[in-house]
Amino acid sequence: MVNVKTKTVAGYVVADVALVGAACMVPAVSHALALPLYMMNPMLALLLAGMLVRRDWRNGLLLAVLMPLVSCLAVGMPAADKMVCMMAELATVAAVFGWLQRRWSALPAVLVAVLAAKGVYYGLKALIVAPAVLVGTDWMVQLGAVLLWAGLFAMLYKKFKA
């Protein structure tokens, strides 16, 4: 007989596998549709979706590492150097949000987490990749994506609060 805890853990594993799979599909979908989906920061959206499902920042850390790593190994995107930057960025979102959400409401917590993560990403990118191509996506597009995902996340986080 399967107990409730086993069913719950299995559900989280299925959700995490689906999110990692979706992260691997983003480059293929982007190429098939001839749309630069990377500009909308899809890994951030997937990480936030995972944090909505699990409500555990530690699971967010796991996703932050697995999504870029598996995508890099499976489909070659992101490139290995950017993968490291993305892992650090996504892990920063999970950790900072995990810390702030106990003190603040979801919207300011996720906005601060994502902005801190962008600082980590660009700092590492300047060190690891190449300072000459530091910003590949227009700042306004990035700001729009951040506001979209953070607003949607905060709205859903409040609505489905555990």
82-136 residue pLDDT tens: 899 999 999 999 999 999 999 999 999 999 999 999 999 989 988 887 765 656 6
pLDDT given for residue 33 in this prediction? 82
User: What's the CA gap between 102 and 19, in Å, rounded?
Assistant: 25
> 94, 137 in Cβ contact below 8 A?
no
pLDDT given for residue 131 in this prediction? 61
User: For residue 120, with 0-12 CB atoms within 10 Å meaning exposed, 13-18 middle and 19 or more buried, which class applies?
Assistant: middle
Where does the chain have alpha helices with state H? 4-33, 42-54, 57-75, 80-100, 106-128, 139-159
pLDDT given for residue 146 in this prediction? 87
1-42 residue pLDDT tens: 445 455 577 878 899 999 999 999 988 888 788 777 777 889
Structural tokens at position 67:
């999504």
pLDDT given for residue 39 in this prediction? 79
User: What's the CA gap between 73 and 17, in Å, rounded?
Assistant: 15
The alpha carbon of residue 110 and the mean position of all alpha carbons in its chain are separated, in whole angstroms, by: 11
What does pTM read for this prediction? 0.87
Sign of CA dihedral 124, 112, 139, 38: positive
- Report whether the peptide linkage leading into residue 78 is cis, meaning its omega lies within 30 degrees of zero: yes
43-55 mean pLDDT: 92
Contact residues for 16 (Cβ-Cβ < 8 A; gap 6+)? 50, 54, 59, 62, 63, 66
53-73 residue pLDDT tens: 888 889 999 999 999 999 999
pLDDT given for residue 93 in this prediction? 97
pLDDT given for residue 2 in this prediction? 46
131-157 mean pLDDT: 81
